[in-house]
Structure 1
């Protein structure tokens, strides 16, 4: 009889266990070549404040291909695996070990092994675009989450790689084989972006951006002003892959992106960010929640555009004499106490106390970059920064926030036509009272990234946007 394998110690039964676990010592960051002529890379950054290489890139794994444009990525398995019968005894040896790196332009998915040396990830497998198209009917993979019965990979496009419907491909989280399309009945859903869930409610939530042809060459003004980008949430039966309900936020609320459900497994609410309103260029955050047998959503945060001199604006914004906040990412701390909102256009990270999720209260803010302000980092006070806080990741204990500055190559070029540069920053906070302070010891930037642009961050052992927890 085989000996049971020890359970992965980074599979936490509850949010409280995750918060109490040891702090991350490494961050994994994907970085891409805008020109598509050099390989993108999976990089490793030292986050151990006591290390002599703190804040430096200490690992670099180049992809075997070019033109992938790495975007969102994630683990093969996480705490949600504990919902599997037998996994909490560790019988099958499932581990948080592999990082799956989707190429948003190539439709390839590269799988990297972080063992035995977490500073030197090694290529384990490549899932080709052809396999994704043939077995699931999708292309342009965007976001993935490790679920209880596999890896859920959201995709913007159908098999032809240009139009929709987009949706979710299900992958085996041990072999990484593409199993099938997850949906069995998609109902009215056509546009895709993110997907996450309330495990104990048997509910998956999905959001909308646009098809590949709507996004890959930049924001299309005609589509935006005609309210053609996504503006809906979709609610599904998680076990059956069956569409249950659509909630329309209103056509002016364009690009409904990052989903952050509550980490409390018994709660039935979460937040989603909306990039821009065509009514007034504001951005917003909405709360969804269950109300009896229905799901509802209401706007709980509005962030107005900032007036600006047209001479300081890129061509796309000159007619408006204002900078929209452009909320491109949000993140919810593991204790469900603090919500972080990236305002990429104005160059600001906002912090809200959401102890009462229906009434968020702003408790912190920090400025970096921005279309007009170009606020420098304290580690390099004489260097105006382009880009702005874009992807945001929060440590499990809620004390450290990591941000990177690139959105998507073509969109970077529209809003920052002189270049975004390349940078990553760390922000410290008190998870109980809030308040944000930049760490002037942590600022990998410029040539540290060898000409690549950093995008999403994953923290060793998990982070606020990696795991769903099965128990209180």
Structure 2
């Protein structure tokens, strides 16, 4: 009799994940800003011993146009080993790929041909709207009992509240709205959890009409974008507490909880302060029986000649860092902070999460600097480190340069270009000069989020320390 065994890319603990074999492929969502051509999932070779290392080796086009592929995720991950909702015999096989503009959701099978993922299911917008009351799907996380899909908009695609839809692991059908009692939560963005403590955390960006045509100056200066974190009872699906960071701290975006399931803290990046254009990183943590958030990193704006700035920030005479993504290594030691405006990627030692210590920085792109990659020193680059993904063992860091179509156009009006880079993260923190797909490598599309074969630092949660 054959024995069923869990997927070998499921890991009981962060320690096991760190020891796992390195990824051989990276999957990258790439979109056509003009919506004239289909978006695609690009597959890149990440095996340094391969003759095609650092190159696009696979390409799966979507069947429609205008999706704007954004954040996507695996159908299953290490949380399938959790003892209270075990699904050990499902596979990390499918990529769940939402279109942020179209509200369409694609399911891609990577098993048979990993470099040529095959579209096996398409969920149309009306299914998400009718069954969950949401639109504009943004982020996918694999939980122990289903797929959690955050969405920015209500069923009509414009107003909120945004929230979380739950999808079935196997059929990928929309089961319904996750929230039973959402309390004061209205704006949505990311969701993550402390899975062993039955705590879910959500962050805030804005409704579709607040973001889809770029930053709205009146809303930003009026402090109308998101500025709160929300804490939920994961099992009862009920809102427990809201923590306001202060309305000057606009847009707390990516949530990165500690991977160690015995820890109850995590980091969130705040895009901009309307008081001084600085960006920040906050630590959420327990404070007695309640939750609190403490600012642990502040990154100031950089003064600049207004003539060198795009119109949206000319009046300020400075470049905001615009922290639009952060990522925490699986061993919970290193926090990577992408400053998309200034073109800087910072590395912090967060062994003491309340007192991060900067331990490395690189520059590439940037609104004013246009710093080139070391592999092409004569090629000025637009965009900046945006989405950042870290390998399970923490030794490799991948970044892409596009944020979101309308925002790209505002901050880089002469064109954001297309590039991806890899850094080696050890005693030194430096670019890998062999890995720099750019320009025509992405066939005119803009690369956004990266997922690594077998999982990565932001794809899995663990139930054992």
TM-score bucket (shorter structure): over 0.9
Structure-1 residue corresponding to 2:267: 271
Correspondence 1:317 to 2:313:
yes
Change (3 A) 1:405 1:86: closer
> 1:197-346 maps to which residues of 2 (within 5 A)?
197-346=193-342
Q: Which residue pairs with 2:434 in the alignment? A: 441
Equivalent residue number for residue 468 of structure 1: 461
Aligned positions of 1:84-99 closer than 5 A = 84=83, 87=86, 90=88, 93-99=89-95
Question: Is there any run of 5+ residues in structure 1 with no aligned partner, and where?
Answer: none
Aligned to 2:380: 384
Shift of 1:272: 0.1
Tell me what 1:136 maps to: 132
Distance 1:453 1:211 in 2: 23
Residue number in structure 2 paired with 1:366: 362
1:26–1:460 contact (8 Å) kept in structure 2:
yes
Matches within 5 A, 1:8-27: 8-27=7-26
Q: Is the 8 A contact 1:87 1:94 kept in 2?
A: no
Mapped partners of 2:38, 2:449: distance in 1: 17
User: Could you say what secondary structure the match of 2:463 adopts?
Assistant: coil
Say which of 350, 355, 365 aligns to 2:346: 350
Distance 1:234 1:451 in 2: 38
1:69 corresponds to which residue? 68
Cα drift, residue 334 of structure 1: 0.2
Is the partner of 2:65 in helix, strand or coil?
Answer: coil
> Would you say 1:177 and 2:173 are equivalent positions?
yes
SS at match of 2:229: strand
3-state SS of the aligned residue for 2:378? coil
Matched residue SS, 1:250? coil
In structure 2, distance between residues paired with 1:75 and 1:286? 27
Pick from 447, 453, 459 the counterpart of residue 454 of structure 1. Answer: 447
C-alpha spacing 1:416/1:86, structure 2 compared with 1 (3 Å): closer
Contact 1:391 1:457 in 2 (8 A): yes
Q: Does 2:104 align with 1:108?
A: yes
How many Å separate the matches in 2 of 1:79 and 1:4? 19
- The alignment yields a C-alpha RMSD, in angstroms, of 1.0
Instruction: For residues 276-331 of structure 1, give each alpha carbon's deviation from its aligned partner in whole angstroms, at most 9, with x where no partner exists.
Output: 00010000000000122100001000000000000100001110000000000000
Residue by residue over 1:172-228, the C-alpha shift from the partner in whole angstroms, topping out at 9 and shown as x without a partner, is 011101001000000000000000000111100000000000000000000000000
Q: What whole-Å deviation, never above 9, does each CA across 1:210-257 have from its counterpart, x for those lacking one?
A: 000000000000000000000000000001110000000000000010
Distance (whole Å) between structure 1 residues aligned to residue 83 and residue 464 of structure 2 = 13
The offset of 1:3, in angstroms, is 4.6
Q: Residues of 2 paired with 1:4 and 1:66: CA distance?
A: 44
Deviation at 1:369, TM superposition (A): 0.1
1:244 match: secondary structure: strand
Query: Could you tell me whether the CA contact under 8 Å between 1:84 and 1:149 is conserved in 2?
Result: no
Whole-angstrom distance in 2 between the partners of 1:364 and 1:86:
40
Kept in 1: contact 2:23–2:453 (CA 8 A)? yes
- Name the SS of the counterpart of 2:252 in structure 1: strand
Aligned-residue offset at 1:117: 1.4
Following superposition, the deviation at residue 384 of structure 1 comes to: 0.2
Q: TM-score, normalised by structure 1?
A: 0.97
CA displacement at 1:415 relative to structure 2: 0.1
Q: Return the alpha-carbon distance in structure 2 between the equivalents of residues 292 and 171 of structure 1.
A: 34
User: For residue 51 of structure 1, what is the aligned residue in structure 2?
Assistant: 50
Distance in 1, Cα, partners of 2:85 & 2:105: 29
Report how far residue 84 of structure 1 moved. Answer: 4.9
How many residues are aligned here?
Answer: 465
> 1:405 — aligned with what?
401
Counterparts of 2:205 and 2:20, CA distance in 1: 35
- Give the conservation status (yes or no) of the 8 Å contact 2:85–2:144: no
Is the contact between residue 102 and residue 125 of structure 2 (CA under 8 Å) also seen in structure 1?
A: yes
Quote the Cα distance in structure 1 between the aligned partners of 2:274 and 2:342. 17
Q: Distance in 2 between matches of 1:19 and 1:436?
A: 19
**How far has the Cα of 1:5 moved from its partner?**
2.5
Offset at residue 86 of structure 1 (A):
7.8
Contact 2:342 2:366 in 1 (8 A): yes
Residue pair 1:84, 1:148 contacting (<8 A) in 2 also: no
Q: Identify which range, 79-88 or 304-313, moves more after superposition.
A: 79-88
* TM-score, length of structure 2 as denominator length: 0.99
